[in-house]
Amino acid sequence: MVLDYTLPDARQAVAVMRARLGSLGTKADLTKLGEYTNGLSHADLVKAAESAAKAVLMRGEAQVEREDIIVSLKARRSATLG
């Protein structure tokens, strides 16, 4: 049995990130983060969103900013794609 898996496109990546950020939310326009999400799996995107949310909560803030997400996505890309 062969399972075919495709990486999420930009629209799907935004949906995954928004869903994982949940009630914490963000004012950032996630649709413009395609260059950072390209090549990442659904699991990578979930981990990046969780990492961004954790960083925000550790700082005592209430919303994830664009830069928080970019930093987390870059870290995932580095860990995943080298």
19 located within any domain: yes
pLDDT digits (tens, 9 = 90+) for 23-75: 787 878 888 888 899 999 999 999 999 999 999 999 999 899 999 999 999 99
15 located within any domain: yes
5 located within any domain: no
pLDDT at position 22: 84
Q: 47 lies in which domain range?
A: 10-81
16 located within any domain: yes
pTM over 0.85: yes
52 located within any domain: yes
32 located within any domain: yes
Contacts of 52 by beta carbon, 8 Å cutoff, 6+ apart: 21, 64, 68, 69, 71, 72
- The CATH number covering residue 18 comes to 1.10.8.60
- What is the number of domains present in the chain? 1
pLDDT at position 30: 86
